[in-house]
């Protein structure tokens, strides 16, 4: 078994097709098939089931992928750091971002990043905090930005931003409320909130439990942009990070009400594997995203 065979195996596993994997690797299909066959002979394991619709990994193939992907990422990071000369950063960044970040600052952050680091490729995955913890642990992601969980993490964790969550209502059809809301008043409203799988809901439920308040939403939706659109045009209200609703507030379609007694604060943290520290490119992208978040946050709290 050599590194080239492992690289071929990972490409085939991820693409599910000899044609696509060979194109990705810039090799001919027979060469790829031959290397996979040699690998299976050496391991005495069938790694893929061949079918009319492509290559389906076996249990042995899935195990090999989980075992070798972190190793290949470690080698890639080492290669990136050794190749850096004259402050030229190269390589590939694989980053997980919660939706409240992707929907607010990702586009601007990527534009800035590409202008400064044009030789770096970036893959951004959108999803749940719990999912990102598993992906960073398994080596599928270099790092992730998540809502800080209540449970203790086995990963390295670095705080990036503490942000106020607000009650948001629509201007056109929303309820008439005071400018500032006490936490206990939230249970009397028709709420639209993320589901319990969402990291933001964990923040809300923890605050509600501490304040002995029952939050019983009429709708539960994990797509934050859909929540905002619904609240803009109906009597429903929501509780979201200020940065998520700020554009609608500036457009005049939503109102943001600070919540007191207690305030609700969510904590965005960066997570990475202690044995696989992020490379220079990952650090640079996260620094730009964090800067964009701070800029938006400071604007919102004017």
For the chain (302 residues), the mean pLDDT of every run of 10, in chain order, is 87 88 88 91 91 85 87 73 62 92 93 92 92 91 91 89 93 92 91 93 91 92 95 96 91 94 90 88 92 76 45
Counting beta carbons within 10 angstroms of the beta carbon of residue 237, is it exposed (0 to 12), middle (13 to 18) or buried (19 or more)?
buried
- Domains contained in the chain, CATH given: 3-71 (1.10.10.10), 86-160+267-300 (3.40.190.10), 163-266 (3.40.190.290)
Nearest residue to 255 (alpha-carbon basis) of 163, 194, 164, 176: 176
Around Cβ 59, how many Cβ atoms within 10 Å?
A: 10
CA distance 75 to 82: 11
> Does pTM top 0.85 for this prediction?
no
Report pLDDT for 79.
Answer: 67
Counting beta carbons within 10 angstroms of the beta carbon of residue 120, is it exposed (0 to 12), middle (13 to 18) or buried (19 or more)?
buried
């Amino acid at each position: 078994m050599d590194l080239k065979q492992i690289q071929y195996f990972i490409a085939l596993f991820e693409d599910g097709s000899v044609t696509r994997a060979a194109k990705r690797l810039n090799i001919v299909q027979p060469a790829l098939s031959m290397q996979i066959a040699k690998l299976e002979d050496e391991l005495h394991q069938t790694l893929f089931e061949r079918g009319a619709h492509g290559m389906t990994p076996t249990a042995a193939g899935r195990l090999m992928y989980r075992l070798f992907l972190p190793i290949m990422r470690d080698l890639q990071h080492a290669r990136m750091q050794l190749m850096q000369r004259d402050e030229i950063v190269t390589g590939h960044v694989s980053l997980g971002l919660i939706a409240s970040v992707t929907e607010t600052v990702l586009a601007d952050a990527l534009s800035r990043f590409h202008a400064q680091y044009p030789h770096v490729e970036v893959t951004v995955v959108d999803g749940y905090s719990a999912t990102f913890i598993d992906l960073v642990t398994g080596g599928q992601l270099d790092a992730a930005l998540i809502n800080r969980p209540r449970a203790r993490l086995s990963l390295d964790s670095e705080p990036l931003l503490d942000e106020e969550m607000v009650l948001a209502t629509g201007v056109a059809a929303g309820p008439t409320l005071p400018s500032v809301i006490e936490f206990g008043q939230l249970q009397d409203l028709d709420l639209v909130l993320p589901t319990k799988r969402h990291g933001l809901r964990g923040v809300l439920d923890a605050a509600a439990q501490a304040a002995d308040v029952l939050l019983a939403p009429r709708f539960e939706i994990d797509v934050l942009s859909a929540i905002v659109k619904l609240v803009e045009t109906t009597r429903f209200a929501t509780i979201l990070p200020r940065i998520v609703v700020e554009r609608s507030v500036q457009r005049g379609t939503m109102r943001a009400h600070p919540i007191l007694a207690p305030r609700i604060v969510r904590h965005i943290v960066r997570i990475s594997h202690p044995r696989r520290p992020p490379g220079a490119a990952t650090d640079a992208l996260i620094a730009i995203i964090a800067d964009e978040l701070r800029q938006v946050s400071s604007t919102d709290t004017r």
